[in-house]
């Protein structure tokens, strides 16, 4: 019996919002994933440190994914000392889940365009499939126009529009999703300005932010 693929959705989740959750659900339903693991990052190597601490971001993510049997939460990156490289996370998951289980790394188009700057990025293809979420009107072919040559070559070789995902790893899969113009940056800006981000993120997450006074102006917690 073939093993169902598992989706992996990492990020700062600072805070997590409906755009993240919708991406996870679209991937699970369209690709037939057994589950989507949300993996809050600890110390990101490619960007500034998150606005809030790892325990707060983990707890907000836990609240957001609760109640959906397709979603689960993985704390391995926030427990890791030092920078969190995706290739290390995938190697650890492979050691736990075995070599036969298909793994799908879920990325937005912007993140995918920067893939060639990631640590040991070519090794990712031996560990997982890469699913690229595309907003309406944006395709992998469109993204290729601004890709570095090395990534363009990999994309042209590995693109799999059929997305059968029978193999454990190795393909790049386009995933059209509805456009939700939501960002953690915008939510933080609203909160810092004393405005409400209601309906941009789960109510439980918003309540948690309020209880702990997160994202207030000049407040880093």
Do the domain assignments include residue 166?
A: yes
CA-CA distance, 22 to 24, in Å (whole number)?
5
CATH of the domain at 169: 3.40.50.620
Do the domain assignments include residue 54?
A: yes
For tokens 């997450």, the residue is 205
For tokens 């365009």, the residue is 113
Do the domain assignments include residue 43?
A: yes
CA-CA distance, 23 to 6, in Å (whole number)?
14
For tokens 């393909």, the residue is 171
List all residues 6 or more positions away from 178 whose beta carbon is below 8 Å from its beta carbon: 22, 26, 136
Do the domain assignments include residue 186?
A: no
Do the domain assignments include residue 167?
A: yes
The most confident of the ranges 6-15, 44-53, 129-138, 141-150 is 6-15
Residue 171's H or E segment, with its range, is: none
Number of alpha carbons in the 13 Å side-chain half-sphere of residue 37: 17
If one counts the domains in the chain, the total is 1
Q: Are 134 and 37 in contact (CB under 8 A)?
A: no
Q: What pTM did the predictor assign? A: 0.94
Percent of the chain at pLDDT exceeding 70: 95
pLDDT of 219 higher than 60: no
Q: Which tokens hold the place of 38?
A: 């949300």
Do the domain assignments include residue 90?
A: yes
Range of the domain at 88: 6-180
Q: What mean pLDDT is reported for the chain? A: 92
Do the domain assignments include residue 77?
A: yes
């Amino acid at each position: 019996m073939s093993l169902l693929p598992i989706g992996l959705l990492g990020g700062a989740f600072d805070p997590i919002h409906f755009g993240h959750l919708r991406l996870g659900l679209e991937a699970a339903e369209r690709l037939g994933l057994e589950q989507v693991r949300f993996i809050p990052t600890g110390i990101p190597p490619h960007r500034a440190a998150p606005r809030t601490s790892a325990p707060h971001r983990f707890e907000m993510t836990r609240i957001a994914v609760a109640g959906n049997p397709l979603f689960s939460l993985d704390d391995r990156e926030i427990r890791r000392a030092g920078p969190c490289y995706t290739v290390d996370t995938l190697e650890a998951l492979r050691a736990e889940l075995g070599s036969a289980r298909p793994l799908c790394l879920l990325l937005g188009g912007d993140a995918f365009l920067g893939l060639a700057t990631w640590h040991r990025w070519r090794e990712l293809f031996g560990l997982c499939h890469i699913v690229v979420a595309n907003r309406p009107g944006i395709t992998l072919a469109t993204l290729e126009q601004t890709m570095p040559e090395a990534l363009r070559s990999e994309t042209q070789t590995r693109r799999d529009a059929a997305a059968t995902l029978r193999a454990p790893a190795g393909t790049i899969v386009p995933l059209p999703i509805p456009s939700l113009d939501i960002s953690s940056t915008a939510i933080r800006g609203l909160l810092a300005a004393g405005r409400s981000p209601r309906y941009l993120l789960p109510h439980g997450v918003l309540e948690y932010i309020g209880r702990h006074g997160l994202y207030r102006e000049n407040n880093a917690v």
